[in-house]
Structure 1
């Protein structure tokens, strides 16, 4: 029994309103609750123990503190992406090391933290403890707004590519070829724009292009595979997973440890979060910290390939069933 136009209109209106609420919540809620949550920092120097204890009591649960014997090892912790910042505590004063390339938002918070650790004698001479940026963000994008602005278009265009391939290419095998070609061309083109025109990312061009191509393959392949295996409803499933859930939790404009737990960690196991982390590692840290996000993108890419294969088998089974149901031609 078919529903009336009024009932369908009411259902669509209610569904659209609910979707709007979900989207606003998904995108605004994480940003509205940014705060350090076991943020990795290092304390080094002769007075490291006292400073670590003070920091623990002042901000319970905010920092995951480790101590290092000297400033050189603290710097290595930042360049290896083991920590976002370091406090160098010595009898002569307190200095803070940051890595704004890992997260400009975290670097700003550590700048404020440095002022809180200013010794009284520094205040008497109107001097603040030094803050040094060990791994700086790109000078053309010091706040990371351009970097964060790349995340949403990259994911949206990847989902759109999967939808176009689903609607325009009937054979699943050719859709898979389209995914690979789109990933290759999209990665090369996106990296050229990000590095050449906008100057948002340093690092080797081919490595940046490879990360973007890998991201496109993971998202487009998985969404196209869902559509092949589940039908067009798979497009909606992919869009919800990667756009409504993955993008807000990617921490592309902040850091996973600033998002409410456990959502920041969950976001790193979805392509948007893994892509942002991998891009930072390749562009600014010579690949340090790239293993896990690379494995995550590889896993999603493999899942997409498996779904495409299952979709191809589903299509062949449907064609065979249709052929069996077809009436035999009449004999003359």
Structure 2
């Protein structure tokens, strides 16, 4: 009976080792780490949104304007970053240029002021600014009438469609790259194979950008603005994420897929300014968001949709840098691997010739 128990235990342990290899166990631990990071990142970014240093213009005559700017600047927690602007026209222009997020227009002849907001840039931010300004004005026995000068489209609830569009493009980018890699080995064997993968990714990016623009534009009417602009943004976003994923895979093999998910999904999505624009996010997410593809893509998508493509140079350069860096690193690492493999093979042949001699 003891021999039977021992044999059973040996067989069971053997089955466990066969079913869950050391490599698989390490990968599962890595997935557990991604799960914890995902929960931490999203909860940390979204659990307590509050406005911090929201750029707002103040249009008021003479000393009253300076006093109001000073009062808004001294609010507890620094929710606003006020600056005096000489006219409502200039304030509206700065909102459209995405230099500021709101403007308070003071009526010197009455007690009702106007707050200009742009919900197209994020409804949650407009509402947060309205709450802060309304409370501040109430203390001065004044009232505020909110005017949405750049409203979100009727088919774009809370201006979230642009964000979800970019998230879809990002998911497509790293999934396409992952499939291209694992279909024939995570690390490209040579420079030619790396170029072929990048070429396939390019075709996929163009198709994904076109498909996304068609769905949110003509099909659903969810995101207004230039169809060609959205198509181009989609192609660039997908390629930037895909090329980055290919580069990480070339560097670290299949673990690179996990790193791409960490970078794009775990860190990039909650910091993208989608559900909560940058001034509502905690410092860490507010700082990294503009430098990652989801954040850069979301900003450009909203600019195309509601702000005539203004303030897009910086984010487009960010996406281009990810695309160029990923492409260069993928090709260089593939060529270096080819060189190392050739040298190893030559050393192996030299050893065989020596043994034969």
Q: Same fold (TM over 0.5)?
A: yes
Residue 113 (structure 1) shift: 3.3
Q: Which residue number corresponds to residue 53 of structure 1?
A: 70
RMSD: 2.6
Shift of 1:233: 2.4
In structure 1, how many angstroms separate the alpha carbons of the residues matched to 2:34 and 2:244? 22
Match of 2:154 among 127, 139, 160: 139
Larger helix proportion of the pair: 2
Among 280, 284, 298, the alignment partner of 1:258 is 280
Q: Would the alpha carbon gap of residues 114 and 271 (structure 1) be closer, same or farther in structure 2, given more than 3 Å must change?
A: same
* Counterpart in the other structure of 1:177: 199
SS in 2 for 1:202: coil
1:96 to 104, 111, 115: 115
SS in 1 for 2:157: coil
What is the rounded CA distance, in whole Å, between the counterparts of 1:315 and 1:10 in structure 2?
27
**Would the alpha carbon gap of residues 219 and 278 (structure 1) be closer, same or farther in structure 2, given more than 3 Å must change?**
same
The secondary structure found in structure 1 opposite 2:283 is coil
State the partner residue of 1:86. Answer: 103
Residue 203 of structure 1: SS of its match in structure 2?
A: coil
In the alignment, the residues of structure 2 paired with residue 275 and residue 108 of structure 1 have an alpha-carbon distance, to the nearest angstrom, of: 23
Residue 123 of structure 2 is aligned to residue 108 of structure 1: no
SS in 2 for 1:227: helix
Task: For 2:82 and 2:152, locate their aligned partners in 1 and report how far apart those are by CA, in whole Å.
Answer: 23
Q: 1:233 aligns with which of 244, 255, 258?
A: 255
- Alpha-carbon separation, structure 1, partners of 2:275 and 2:228: 24
Counterpart position of 2:317: 295
- Matches of 2:100 and 2:130 in 1, distance apart? 15
C-alpha separation in 1, matches of 2:323 and 2:261:
16
The structure with more radius of gyration: 2
Instruction: Work out whether residues 270 and 285 of structure 2, in 8 Å CA contact, stay in contact via their aligned partners in 1.
Output: no
Matches within 5 A, 1:29-40: 29-40=44-55
SS at structure 1 position matched to 2:262: helix
- The equivalent residue for 1:191 is 213
Residue 103 of structure 1 deviates from its aligned partner by 1.3
Q: Would the alpha carbon gap of residues 237 and 119 (structure 1) be closer, same or farther in structure 2, given more than 3 Å must change?
A: closer
**Structure 1 residue 118: Cα displacement:** 4.7
C-alpha displacement at 1:282, in angstroms? 1.6
Displacement of 1:318: 4.3
In the superposition, the TM-score normalised over structure 2's length comes to: 0.82
Asked if the contact 2:161–2:223 (Cα under 8 Å) also holds between the matched residues in 1, the reply is no
What's the offset of the Cα at 1:266? 1.3
Aligned residues of 1:151 and 1:247 also touching (Cα < 8 A): no
Conserved in 1, the CA contact under 8 Å of 2:52 and 2:79?
yes
Structure 1, unmatched stretches of 5+, are 123-127
Number of residues of Structure 1 aligned to a counterpart in Structure 2: 323
Alignment check: 8 A CA contact 1:172 1:311 kept: no
Distance in 2, matches of 1:230 and 1:11, equals 14
Query: Quick one: structure 1 residues 292 and 249, their matched pair in 2 at CA, closer, same or farther if it must change by over 3 Å?
Result: same
For structure 2, the 5+ residue unaligned runs are 1-13
